[in-house]
Amino acid sequence: MNFIDLFKSIFKSSTPLPAPPAEVRPPTPQAILPLTVTLINVGVRTSRAEEFAKPLTLAMQEFGIIDPLDKAAFLANGLHETGMLRYLREIWGPTPAQLKYESRPEMGNTNPGDGYRNRGGGFIHLTWGINYEQTGKVIGVDLKNHPELIAEPVVACRSAGYYWYSHNLNSVLKESGFKAVVKVINGAYNGLDKRERLFELLKKELGAA
C-alpha cells in the first residue's frame, strides 16, 4: 500500500462513528426535480440523474447536508469518485496497490478475496472491511456480509451521507475550505482539479455562488 492509501485507511478507521441524526420526512417530488436537473446540467447521464436524485436528496436531508454550499461540496466529491455516477464500485485490476488490500486483519480484510469484496464503494467510495461493517451497523444494512449492497442507490447515498456527517465535513468546509474536505475524503488531493471544477459548477446550479 502506498502512503496515500495508508493515510486514508488510518484516518477512516480511527474516526469515531457517532449515531446518525433523527429520521426526516421523505422529500416531495418538487424537491427531487431540481436535483435531477442539476445533475444533468453538470454532466450526469439523464437515466442516472433520475435514478439517484431521490436517494441523494434523502441522504442529504437525513445527514444534515442542507446548505447549498455543503450540497455542492458533497455532490462534487461523490460525482468525481463515481465517475459521474457510472461506477458505484472501485474499478478492479487488480493493480499492485489493490493487491495490498489483502491480508489486512487490522482493517477488517481477513479472508482471501476481502480486498476485492471491500474495495471502494458507494457515492463516496467506502473502503476496508472495518468501515463496511461499522457503517452498515449505523445505517441498518449488513454490509459486512453483503458488501455488494453498497452499490444500491439508497445504500450508496446513505453511506456517503453518513461518512460526511461522521467526519463533520460541513464544519471542515466552513472552517478550512473545499481543499481540506478533499484531503479528508481522499487522504491526499487526487483529482483535485476535477473536483474543484465540479464544485464551481454545482455552486452556480445550487445558488451557492
Which residues, other chains included, contact 166 with Cβ-Cβ below 8 Å and sequence gap of 6+?
15, 16, 17, 18, 138
Domains and CATH numbers, the chain: 3-16+23-206 (1.10.530.10)
Average pLDDT over residues 66-95: 96
Each residue of 124-135: pLDDT tens digit? 999 999 999 999
pLDDT at 178 over 80: yes
Q: Beta strands of 81-169 (E only): which ranges?
A: none
Q: Beta strands of 43-200 (E only): which ranges?
A: none
Of 23-32, 37-46, 165-174, the one with minimum mean pLDDT is: 23-32
Phi and psi at residue 109, to the nearest 5°: -100, 90
What percentage of residues in the chain have a pLDDT greater than 70?
Answer: 85
- Cα 23 versus chain centre, distance: 20
More confident residue, 33 or 67: 67
pLDDT at 185 over 90: yes
Cα(56)–Cα(84) distance, integer angstroms: 13
Mean pLDDT for all residues in the chain: 88
As a dihedral over the C-alpha atoms of residue 43, residue 44, residue 47, residue 53, rounded to 10 degrees, the angle is: -120
What percentage of residues in the chain have a pLDDT greater than 90?
Answer: 74
Phi and psi at residue 200, to the nearest 5°: -65, -40
Average pLDDT over residues 152-163: 97
Of 45-59, 93-107, 135-149, 179-193, the one with minimum mean pLDDT is: 93-107
Confidence of residue 103 (pLDDT cuts 50, 70, 90): confident
pLDDT at 5 over 80: no
Number of CB atoms found within 10 A of residue 152's CB = 17
Each residue of 40-52: pLDDT tens digit? 999 999 999 999 9
Which of 206, 203, 192, 155 shows the shortest CA–CA distance to 80? Answer: 192
pLDDT at 22 over 90: no
19-27's contacts with Cβ under 8 Å and 24+ in sequence apart are 19/138, 20/62, 20/63, 20/138, 20/139, 20/162, 20/165, 21/62, 21/63, 21/64, 21/165, 23/62, 24/58, 24/61, 24/62, 26/58, 27/54, 27/57, 27/58, 27/61
- pLDDT given at position 27: 56
Average pLDDT over residues 128-150: 95
Cell numbers at residue 141, please? 444494512
- pLDDT given at position 18: 55
